[in-house]
Structure 1
Amino acid sequence: MLSALLRKRKQVRSSDRRLPDHLQILFLHRLSHILSKGYPLLEALRMTGWDARLKPVAESLITALGRGDTIDQAYKHARFSKTVTNFLYFSNIHFDLPHIFRQTKQLMEMKKEYKERITRVLRYPLLLLVFLIGAFTIMKRTVLPNFIQLFEGESTSTLWLLMGVDYFMTGMVIIFLLLGGSLVSLLFILPRMSVQNKLDFYQRFPVLRVYYSYSASYSFTTHLHSLLRAGLTLKQSMETMRDHHGDEVLSTYSKEILLQLGEGKSFGQALHSCPLFRTELTDIFHHTNDVEALQSELEILAEFFIEHIQSKITTWIQRIQPIFFVLVAVVIISIYASIMLPLYGWMNQL
């Protein structure tokens, strides 16, 4: 009974686990390539399943589509990333599946690449920093108290230096624990925040504000371009994005834009009510009224946003390692000072 219950719980957990990124990328690559040859979707899925690694995913999608699920629901059931399902939601309107699969594959590749680069950059500095802080803590509890006791009662610069190093060690450990605890807490708290609280939180921190401003602007620009190309009006496009609750920021901003349009404001003016949208996006609607010209400019702007996101992330990654090595150097110097300087001071008194 207990073993059956444990097996069932394990199956539920594995079914909730997201499909690995490398399998998603491979699946999207194979499927987009087959679709570009002119094969229908179900046949393309069947052919993608020729690869044993992709067969369970292909069968899951064929089953879901066969019972009437939309394509975004089918991919969600197959445990694909939210990035993929958000884009596929709009394919129910414009039906440009080969383009959507290529686009989502590129986004997944970009996310996977930067995730791996950040892991490589942080791995050894973090391990070294944790080790040094551990050594720091041991010294604070063993070596420093003995030195302070040795120089206690003497008004010497060495005693003040020892006390300063002691306070510095304590401060470093507290800051490190607070930062680590804050990041872990954020991972649990952020998904449970309301949309408005998330938007306020993003705007409060410069790094998050820059990243999410480009991310939200890219999503809005890309989806609006695809909907306009499918023949929808601006208002219909906003209504479609408003009804898509998979992307909370996009849905909330689309709802706000529709409210502003209902009050008689122009589209460009309505965009100003969305603080995370970039000025490059709002400027387009102030000087472009023709729908065809707007489609062209939105396509170019989407390319600009994704290139700028890549550039920003690369710059941040390049700065992470030097910052960590500076912290490591400060810790090493402090350890050296806490051991050697008291010894020099003690030797001078002999």
Structure 2
Amino acid sequence: MDLFLRRPFIIHKKKLPKEIQLRFLKRLHRLLENGYPLLEAMETMKWDKSLQPIATHIITSLQNGMTIDRAFEKARFHQAITNYLYFVQANGDLQGSIMKSIEMFEQRMNYTKKFQQMARYPLILFIIFSLLLLFIKQSVLPSFMEMFQSNTNASSIIVISIILIDLFMTGLIAIGILGMIVFATWHLMKHRISIVHQIKIYQSIPIYRSFIKAQTSYFFALHFSSLLKTGMSFKEILQHMANQQKIPIITYYATLISAELSRGLHITYLLSQFTLFEEQLVSIFQKNADTSALEKDLSVYGDLLMEDIEDKLMKFITFLQPVFFILLALFIVFIYVTLMWPMFELINTI
């Protein structure tokens, strides 16, 4: 499960190892906290030989006039990190943006690691038992057929077992191929699908829908809050959010809200019309007329949403583990029945 929406499909160079990206960000944040200007901090990063090429690349990009998000993107940092850094050019809060990206990316790595740990053992067992099932079908059951030729019932049961194994293996392969086709098609065709239709697709996926809703509300609250600190008006904030291309749903919503505000509609009403915004986000705008109070509430709400997303992901991962083991148990029972059913039938006829 991806925690962030991607831009239109582009062929990227290989990303930096996640551990290197996280170590780079943590060290950069520590240097900035100690009072180093950005370029001096980057020069200091060169002391670590493993980080030297990255720091050199970013320094060159910054000196050539690139924004910090583009410099990190060119250095092959993950888009989830550059999403945060994009707004630095508007809010000037480099330390805060890096800290947020560290928290998010570290959580992302932890979820991925936990999911891999949880899925590794069942997946290995599933592969082993699949090979065992294939062996039973190719070697064991044909031997049973020769043994039980005189027993019509036992022979018919063996034929049924072979058919069931064929159906199971064919279904498994078909599901795998279909999944890969759907995944590849989505990434190839996504840039050709309008954002309106993309939103409809997201809304049609039950579990993913609630995750996207929380994520969209989080990004909107976080970036709106950070830009409010600069003293921008609502219209300027929305125009800035509409100009970014890293989070397509936010771009689309900000563009619509900005256009409708010009017609005299209230932002609270407009937010309530979008299905991928949480109701709580709307109520925060509704109750706060004071800009400083709105900025504070949106910042707190963003933190709470991040915790909520984290909780939902942990529950999902926790839910998947027993599901994997239940499926594995059913698989083992199926193998056992396939082997023992003909034997029981033969015993009953003696």
TM-score (norm 1): 0.88
Deviations 1:71-122 (A, max 9, x none): 1111111111111111111000111111111111111111111111111111
Match of 1:10 in 2: none
Match of 1:73 in 2: 70
Distance 1:147 1:35, change over 3 A: same
Q: Note the aligned Cα RMSD (angstroms).
A: 2.4
1:206 aligns with 2:206: yes
Match of 2:165 in 1: 169
Deviations 1:275-303 (A, max 9, x none): 22112212212222221111111011101
Distance 1:237 1:148, change over 3 A: farther
Match of 1:5 in 2: none
Q: 1:58 aligns with which of 44, 55, 60?
A: 55
Deviations 1:11-64 (A, max 9, x none): xx9x92111111111111111111112221111111122111111111111111
Q: Distance between the aligned counterparts of 2:145 and 2:238, measured in 1?
A: 68
Amino acid at match of 1:235: K
Q: Distance between the aligned counterparts of 1:298 and 1:144, measured in 2?
A: 65
Once the two structures are TM-superposed, the CA of residue 257 in structure 1 deviates from its matched residue by 2.0
Query: Which runs of no fewer than 5 residues in structure 1 stay unpaired?
Result: 1-12
Amino acid at match of 2:73: K
For residue 275 of structure 1, give the secondary structure of its aligned residue in structure 2. Answer: coil
Q: Distance between the aligned counterparts of 2:306 and 2:118, measured in 1?
A: 22
Distance 1:94 1:296, change over 3 A: same
Once the two structures are TM-superposed, the CA of residue 198 in structure 1 deviates from its matched residue by 3.0
Once the two structures are TM-superposed, the CA of residue 147 in structure 1 deviates from its matched residue by 5.3
Q: Distance between the aligned counterparts of 1:200 and 1:143, measured in 2?
A: 50
Q: Distance between the aligned counterparts of 2:212 and 2:184, measured in 1?
A: 19
Once the two structures are TM-superposed, the CA of residue 160 in structure 1 deviates from its matched residue by 7.6
Match of 1:9 in 2: none
Match of 1:129 in 2: 126
Q: Distance between the aligned counterparts of 1:258 and 1:163, measured in 2?
A: 67
1:107 aligns with 2:104: yes
Once the two structures are TM-superposed, the CA of residue 171 in structure 1 deviates from its matched residue by 4.2
Aligned positions of 1:127-206 closer than 5 A = 127-144=124-141, 150=148, 154=152, 165-166=161-162, 168-192=164-188, 193=190, 194=193, 195-206=195-206
Distance 1:213 1:182, change over 3 A: farther
Match of 2:17 in 1: 20
Contact 2:151 2:346 in 1 (8 A): no
1:30 aligns with 2:27: yes
Distance 1:207 1:291, change over 3 A: same
Match of 2:3 in 1: none
Aligned positions of 1:82-101 closer than 5 A = 82-101=79-98
Distance 1:198 1:173, change over 3 A: farther
Once the two structures are TM-superposed, the CA of residue 159 in structure 1 deviates from its matched residue by 7.2
Distance 1:20 1:284, change over 3 A: same
Deviations 1:210-241 (A, max 9, x none): 22111111111111110111111112111111
Query: Which runs of no fewer than 5 residues in structure 2 stay unpaired?
Result: 1-10
Distance 1:146 1:152, change over 3 A: farther
Deviations 1:307-349 (A, max 9, x none): 0111111111111121111111111111111111211211221
Match of 1:219 in 2: 219
Once the two structures are TM-superposed, the CA of residue 265 in structure 1 deviates from its matched residue by 2.5
Match of 1:306 in 2: 306
Contact 1:244 1:251 in 2 (8 A): yes
Contact 1:256 1:273 in 2 (8 A): no
Once the two structures are TM-superposed, the CA of residue 161 in structure 1 deviates from its matched residue by 6.1
Contact 2:141 2:162 in 1 (8 A): yes
Q: Distance between the aligned counterparts of 2:274 and 2:168, measured in 1?
A: 39
Matched-pair identity in %: 28
Once the two structures are TM-superposed, the CA of residue 246 in structure 1 deviates from its matched residue by 1.6
Q: Distance between the aligned counterparts of 2:342 and 2:140, measured in 1?
A: 10
Task: Give the aligned length.
Answer: 335
Amino acid at match of 1:26: R
Distance 1:265 1:163, change over 3 A: farther
Q: Which has the higher contact order (CA 8 A, sep 6+)?
A: 2
Q: Distance between the aligned counterparts of 1:279 and 1:172, measured in 2?
A: 45
For residue 16 of structure 1, give the secondary structure of its aligned residue in structure 2. Answer: coil
Contact 2:133 2:335 in 1 (8 A): yes
Once the two structures are TM-superposed, the CA of residue 183 in structure 1 deviates from its matched residue by 3.3
Aligned positions of 1:230-269 closer than 5 A = 230-269=230-269
Match of 1:288 in 2: 288
Q: Distance between the aligned counterparts of 2:18 and 2:275, measured in 1?
A: 32
Amino acid at match of 1:82: Q
Amino acid at match of 2:228: L
Distance 1:229 1:160, change over 3 A: farther
